[in-house]
A and B are shown apart, each in its own frame.
Chain A
Amino acid sequence: MKAMGFLAGLLALLALSLPVAAILGDIAIVMDQFWNNGRLQRTFGGFLWEKSNQYLLLSIPLFVLLGEINLRSGIAARMYDAVAKWIGWLPGGLMHANIGASTIFAATSGSSVATSATIGTVAYPEIARHGYSEPLFLGSIAAGGTLGILIPPSVTLIVYGVLTQTSVPELYMAGIVPGALLAALFSLTVLGLCLLRPGLSGSPVRASWADRLRALTDLVPPMVIFLGVIGTIYAGIATPTEAASIGVVLSLILSAANRTLNSRMLLASFEGTVRTTSMIMLIILAAMILNIVVGYFGAIQAATRMVGALGLEPWQLMALIVVFYLVIGMFMETFSMMLTTIGIVFPLVTSVGYDPVWFGVVVVLLMEAALITPPIGVNLFVVQGIRARGAPFRDVCIGAAPFLAAMLALIVLLIWQPGLATWLPDLFYAQ
């Protein structure tokens, strides 16, 4: 009952269009003030300091900076053109390039929003040029971008790893096969829809084999960054957090080689990085503060007891969790969603025998779904933000829906065949 009231209040405040961070923080303050004489507030200052210089969260600004530099140095645009030359002939044309380029960019970037913002900025002008159906094209950008957190490196997997004490390199390994599968499912979705209704497909891209071979050189820079970030982790040279720094330095070097490195470009990258990082950090810190209060009032134990008392089969529990995340994912930002729920959900899931690494992949897929479900889907907002003014937001939501279906299909597939996620890390980390 208390939980229902809490949720209703949260939704009402969201509807009032208050800042998300303020809602989380104010709820924490008010609950503590009324039910606990404000005593927990005495922990806020020390807690805030302890969390705000936490080394692991530092990977967030570093990955954002990496994306900003790649966008502004022209690396992203060249890579997109190269991918378009290779797969743009398929029915659906550049929509496959959107997904393919997102997949490659995801392998250098830890963030879904950076991925769809980068690919979206590059791809958007092509809609008019090639006569695409706008909604599906936009949907492919929004959905393709979500791959950023499933394919390593991934800020979301780092945070999951920290919260649950799960090995980040194993999580990275586990994300590769499902990431490639999801990209393929997205492409199949485009292909199927375009074969069913040819009107959706724009004019395909024509390129000679000579063009294609020449374009391969434009795929080298992202490859270098990927190898720099992931390779150093598996070679035992760097930890996952350090690897983000190496990625930034590599993108700087590549940008210098491209002759695009200058102070204006750097300052613009700094602005983008701080804007995104501080925006997200305020929400993260507020969610963590709310977690102190909610944790103190015993919500975690109560929820565990409640679900425990239901006596569910493991698969029923997993189904309940999937539905739960899809519903709250409609309304919540992904970081707050994970921070406020994982402490409750993770012990439940592992207590019935699910693998922590496998569950990490499922959680990331659910976060990806949240990024493209309205009313609050951050990737939908990113894509909407790139468009010409006055275009209806509805388009983006409708266009993303078929890709949401592909994500759900993959989640079901993973529950049925957990090996899709665990096979690669098990192979690599066999005892």
Chain B
Amino acid sequence: MQKLHSFLYRLSRLSVWIFGAGYLAIALATTADVLMRWLFSISTPAVYEVSGYIFAVATTWGFAFVLFERAHVRIDVVYQALGPRLRALADLLALLALTLFVAVLTWRAWLTLDETLLFDSRARTALQTPLWIPQSLWLAGLAYFLLCLVFLSTYVLLLILRGRSAEVGTIAGIPHVAQHGGTAPGAAATRGGSAQ
């Protein structure tokens, strides 16, 4: 289980490197387009369209990385007062609640792709991008997130059943609390930077 955990974690990190580079590419292409438009009245609306697709795909692939980094925001007001066993249960419950939501989303996103294939939907732009291409990648990110959620829920459940609740915190707990031995509250909001 531990090996699979680190494999899925590393795969999500790899996707983050790829899509982080995608964000950088968006910035470079947009800046180039602004300059070309300003200086030579040449514009490439396709830059905007493709940027939107990269953004959508990068977002869903990032979800799994956020999961392994334990950075999906949770409120720890009550959590910090719990003992290790109850905390492990709270962590399991948190995973299951997220799994329910993401399962519904993934199912609905799949139906959307299915309709896109049926209608042969194309973007309403000059590029006429067949929408199944970006939508497949976008759906794959969601499906990968769902897979990781199911795996992590199972892993945590097994740990609890084997009486190893204390280990749950390091893979599914709220970071500050888990690391600080319970004295320091704070949600798992940040490291580095965030956008509120």
Contact = CB atoms under 8 A, between A and B. Distances in A.
A and B touch in the complex (CB under 8 A): yes
A274 B75 contact: no
A207 B17 CA distance: 42
B170 to A, nearest CB: 15
A112 B108 CA distance: 34
Nearest to A271: B16
Contact of B183 (A46, A54, A110, A390): A390
A331 B13 CA distance: 31
A23 interface: yes
A384 B195 contact: no
A15 B78 contact: yes
Interface residues of A, number: 96
Contact of B58 (A19, A26, A61): A61
B141 to A, nearest CB: 9
Nearest to A23: B97
A67 to B, nearest CB: 4
Contact of B193 (A16, A26, A114, A266): A114
B193 A242 contact: no
B73 A52 contact: no
Contact of A392 (B58, B63, B101, B184): B184
A271 B20 contact: yes
A273 B26 CA distance: 14
A232 interface: yes
A17 interface: yes
Contacts of A238: 34
Interface string B172-196: 0010100111011111011111111
Nearest to B51: A58
Interface secondary structure of B, over-half rule = helix
A211 B108 CA distance: 61
A55 B72 contact: no
Interface in A47-73: 48-49, 52-55, 57-58, 60-65, 67-68, 71
B31 A382 contact: no
B75 A29 contact: no
A118 to B, nearest CB: 7
B185 to A, nearest CB: 4
A232 B61 CA distance: 32
- Indicate the member of B51, B63, B72 with the most A CB atoms within 10 Å: B72
A189 interface: no
A327 to B, nearest CB: 16
A385 B65 contact: no
A304 interface: no
Nearest to B185: A393
B166 interface: no
Nearest to B180: A389
B180 to A, nearest CB: 5
Interface string B78-118: 11000000000010011001101100110011111001000
A52 B59 contact: yes
B69 A275 contact: yes
A60 B195 contact: yes
A74 interface: no
A249 interface: yes
A164 interface: no
Given A49-B112, A65-B27, A266-B24, A392 B183 contact: yes
Contact of A278 (B33, B65, B184): B65
B19 A282 contact: no
A41 interface: yes
Nearest to A29: B104
A133 interface: no
Nearest to A276: B194
Interface in A251-268: 252, 266-268
B192 A117 contact: yes
A382 B71 CA distance: 12
B34 A270 contact: no
B154 interface: no
Contacts of A315: none
